[in-house]
Structure 1
Amino acid sequence: MAEYPFKYGNTQYNFKIERGELLHLLKPRPAVPIADVHQKCIEALENPIGTLPLRQIISPGENVLLIVSDITRAWIRTNQFLVHIINYLNGLSIPDQDISVLIALGTHRPSTEEEKKQIVGEEIYNRIAIYDHDCFDPGQLENLGTSSAGTPIQIHKRVVAADRVILTGGIVFHLFAGFGGGAKGIVPGVAGLETIQHNHRLTFYEGESAGLNPDACSNKIEGNPMRQDITEICRRVNPDFLFNAVLDAEGNFIEFVAGDFEAAWLKGCNTIRQLYGIEVKEKADLIIASAGGYPKDINLYQSVKTMDNCIFGGKEDSVILLLAECRDGLGADEFLEWFQYDTLEKMEAALKRNFTVPGYAAYKAAYVAKYRKLVLLSSLEDEVVGRLGFIPARSMEEAISLAYSLAGEQPKITLMPYGANTLPILA
């Protein structure tokens, strides 16, 4: 009988299927990691998609602003490629004093100095001016009108004032924007709170208790109202260049895409689909999933993405057994507060009044609890897990026993050992 390894924090559990039918074992497709990061960075910069090479865009004497992801996206390993972009700019006669970096915090907390150093790397930290975006400070924002969806466009003044803007980031499936990376560096990255909240409300239908808009989901770009609004706003801002990374499940660089913020990003999205979009022939009665170990299961907030991916692979009212250590607890101070609302409708109404990303993650968790039976093996206290609507387990043996008791005698089973990355796509 085969054993299947599942990561949990920094450890691992091995699982055997003792009864039932194995439908699918979902793993990322193999890819060859980039051997020479510097060389591939230069190749991407000099062979862009949908726009001219940087050397034909930027002129000496212009000031250049690079937008980078914050510490919550440390998996992108910005510090491994940013130095090559900045050195390349130096080679175009753009000195360090004409280059600055803006950390795209969205609604996240400010960066510490140590985190800034970690994000950009020690060398760049000591060479280049590094700034945090603050969506709550009106003095940092410039008004650029309104999008066709009615979103007020408030963008960090440094972005508007810069002669040239380069977006950086990483591409993954995103549970409501379709994919991460690309224009998300602008919205929510360097946008004002009002912009972010209005844009994120597009994940719901308009009207009281209207529910989630199913088009605002992972792997969907065309027809996704939130993503279309982000793209329109980014086109209004008109950044000059994009550099995005695609990584494998182990954190190795697979591809760099560069050029027009949308055209280059779309190429990276297709790579993500090829790596992580796994076709399934039918939906399961029981999904056994791991977020992928630390840091993907560092807290429950980060583990919601795995729950969302599991929804696509299971039948309605099916069972999910999720391994997520959650060593840092829930991951957002406000997360549990959203469960004061005892129905999805009440939570939706509160989100429409005051949208926050942790609130949306809480909504998604509550949504999973309503439409699936989720057994959670974690370090969270049983009382907290129960309040979220999940079934707590203290050991793998207990978790398996609970899952089987809920799924029936001969369940059809899908295994997702890389649940944060892999997305089941029904054939």
Structure 2
Amino acid sequence: MIVDIKYGKDEIQKTEIPDKNLIGIFYPKDVTCGSPDEVINESIDNPIGYDSLDEFLNGGEDIVFIVNDGTRPTPTAKVLDALSKRMDLRKARYIIATGNHRDMTPEEYDFVFGKHYDELKDRIICHNAKESECVYLGNSKNGTPMEINRVAVDSDRLVIITSVEPHYFAGYTGGRKSFLPGVASFRTIEANHRLAMRPEAQALALDGNPVHEDMMDALEQVKGKKIFSIQIVMDRHQSIYKCASGDLNGAFKTAVGWAEEVFCVPIPEKADMVISVAPYPMDVDLYQSQKALDNGKWALKEGGKIVMVSKCREGIGHETFLQQLSSSKDPKIVLENLNKEYKLGYHKAAKMAEIATWADIWAVTGLDKKLMSDANMTPFDTVDDAVKEALKENKDAKIIILMDGSVTIPMVN
């Protein structure tokens, strides 16, 4: 069977896999989507926990929106289209929830704000974790110092536009994640992400997940603030499936249920080889593409091979995590080194090194091959080359392909 695998924004890699070896090609589940405008409008008009958006906005003197950056597929522009019929968008300010990501490119600003960008660009603030003024809200129960962008903390009306899908250590994206780490200080993000080293910090896990607990603790510090959220669940084609609006936690809980419908995918058995694709725009760099590895591991047999497919358009992402991955050829020693101290990015290295203790990590990327080899990943020019090598070693190897590995959670029936 010839399989077309997306690579980068527009490229395709053709891969031949014998039918007897292929367990299956898996995507997030197909669901029925209605008109995007109707889904969003109906949600905003029937908010959870509020009588109406008008009632929420009434009396607001300092309205602040928190929106996702351009590395997320959130259809913010569509939501702004709907909101523009209900309010004057220029009466608000807009913070880009970059977390510790870089500022957005011009193309990404156009993607996030759409036709509203020219009108709103003087109202937009791009959060900078190291430079933006943040307010200390106390320590979380896990000991994380909670420092949040002053613009968000001082607002009297906060509107959060985000999307919800599984996240490899926060359980799920969306909701509370826009606040912390979205507009948190570097010190806060680093302390929060250190908790990702704990085994309780996994995809789908909320109860007992210390990373999630930090996010909820931060919201508790501003529980008197009026917050209206618009949380979208996308399907595998990046179409809008569902939208939950209103109270942040109520909308988040509703959206999590819908996200499970889409992204938790049954598989018949684990495979000897898992090809996990980080599709555009999740292929921005190695740091972000790691999510495809972490999700793919749930479909892999011990001793198997996992192939991350990602162009890594902008390179590594964080040098610190790559340096740690390259600190030893023995992934167990890498893990020992990581446990001695923590810097932001080490959690990514820990998640990758943990996989490398029980499986082989292969990679098809646009990165330097020696760099990848030094980081305990075997580089290949194409997916087809990797498949041929795997079948040379084991002609009966069973193969699974996750076409959207960054958000697909495979679950054995």
Residues 150 and 298 of structure 1: CA distance in aligned 2, closer, same or farther (over 3 Å): closer
Aligned to 2:163: 170
User: Alpha-carbon deviation of 1:117?
Assistant: 4.7
Report matched runs for 1:39-50 at 5 Å: 39-50=38-49
Q: Distance in 1 between matches of 2:407 and 2:62?
A: 37
- Pick the aligned partner of 1:131 from 125, 130, 139: 125
**In 2, are the aligned partners of 1:375 and 1:403 still within 8 Å (CA)?**
no
Show CA shifts across 1:275-313 (max 9, x none). Answer: 121123332222133223x33334322321111111101
Moved more, 178-187 or 390-399: 390-399
Q: Distance in 2 between matches of 1:401 and 1:169?
A: 41
Q: Distance in 1 between matches of 2:98 and 2:156?
A: 22
Secondary structure at the residue paired with 1:218?
coil
**In 2, are the aligned partners of 1:366 and 1:388 still within 8 Å (CA)?**
no
Residues 150 and 329 of structure 1: CA distance in aligned 2, closer, same or farther (over 3 Å): closer
Matched positions, count: 405
- Pick the aligned partner of 1:324 from 310, 319, 332: 310
Identity of aligned residues (%): 27
After TM superposition, where is structure 1 displaced by more than 6 Å over at least 4 residues in a row?
A: none
Residues 78 and 347 of structure 1: CA distance in aligned 2, closer, same or farther (over 3 Å): farther
Q: Distance in 2 between matches of 1:177 and 1:214?
A: 12
Aligned to 2:217: 232
**In 2, are the aligned partners of 1:369 and 1:388 still within 8 Å (CA)?**
no
Report matched runs for 1:12-411 at 5 Å: 12-18=12-18, 20-37=20-37, 39-60=38-59, 62-73=61-72, 75-90=73-88, 96=90, 98-111=91-104, 115-127=108-120, 129-137=123-131, 140-204=133-197, 213-238=198-223, 239-292=226-279, 294-342=280-328, 343-349=333-339, 352-354=341-343, 356=344, 358-406=345-393, 408-411=394-397
Give the RMSD, CA atoms, in angstroms. Answer: 2.5
Secondary structure at the residue paired with 1:266?
helix
Show CA shifts across 1:380-412 (max 9, x none). Answer: 222122112111222444211222244x23223
**In 2, are the aligned partners of 1:41 and 1:85 still within 8 Å (CA)?**
no
Q: Which amino acid in structure 2 is aligned with residue 389 of structure 1?
A: N
Secondary structure at the residue paired with 2:411?
strand
Residues 235 and 83 of structure 1: CA distance in aligned 2, closer, same or farther (over 3 Å): farther
Secondary structure at the residue paired with 2:301?
strand
**In 1, are the aligned partners of 2:362 and 2:378 still within 8 Å (CA)?**
yes
What TM-score comes out, normalization by structure 2 length?
0.89
Q: Which amino acid in structure 2 is aligned with residue 348 of structure 1?
A: L
Residues 87 and 236 of structure 1: CA distance in aligned 2, closer, same or farther (over 3 Å): farther
Q: Distance in 2 between matches of 1:308 and 1:49?
A: 33
Q: Distance in 2 between matches of 1:154 and 1:321?
A: 38
Q: Which amino acid in structure 2 is aligned with residue 353 of structure 1?
A: Y
What TM-score comes out, normalization by structure 1 length?
0.86
User: Alpha-carbon deviation of 1:164?
Assistant: 0.8
Q: Distance in 2 between matches of 1:286 and 1:391?
A: 14
Residues 256 and 14 of structure 1: CA distance in aligned 2, closer, same or farther (over 3 Å): same
Q: Distance in 2 between matches of 1:414 and 1:112?
A: 35
Q: Distance in 1 between matches of 2:408 and 2:372?
A: 24
User: Alpha-carbon deviation of 1:334?
Assistant: 4.2
What stretches of structure 2 of length at least 5 have no aligned partner?
none
Residues 152 and 396 of structure 1: CA distance in aligned 2, closer, same or farther (over 3 Å): closer
Q: Distance in 2 between matches of 1:327 and 1:121?
A: 23
**In 2, are the aligned partners of 1:83 and 1:124 still within 8 Å (CA)?**
no
Secondary structure at the residue paired with 1:251?
coil
Show CA shifts across 1:147-168 (max 9, x none). Answer: 2222222111112211111111
Residues 187 and 279 of structure 1: CA distance in aligned 2, closer, same or farther (over 3 Å): same
User: Alpha-carbon deviation of 1:144?
Assistant: 1.7
Secondary structure at the residue paired with 2:339?
helix
**In 2, are the aligned partners of 1:19 and 1:410 still within 8 Å (CA)?**
no
**In 2, are the aligned partners of 1:249 and 1:421 still within 8 Å (CA)?**
no
Aligned to 1:210: none
Residues 175 and 50 of structure 1: CA distance in aligned 2, closer, same or farther (over 3 Å): same
User: Alpha-carbon deviation of 1:347?
Assistant: 4.3
**In 2, are the aligned partners of 1:188 and 1:196 still within 8 Å (CA)?**
yes
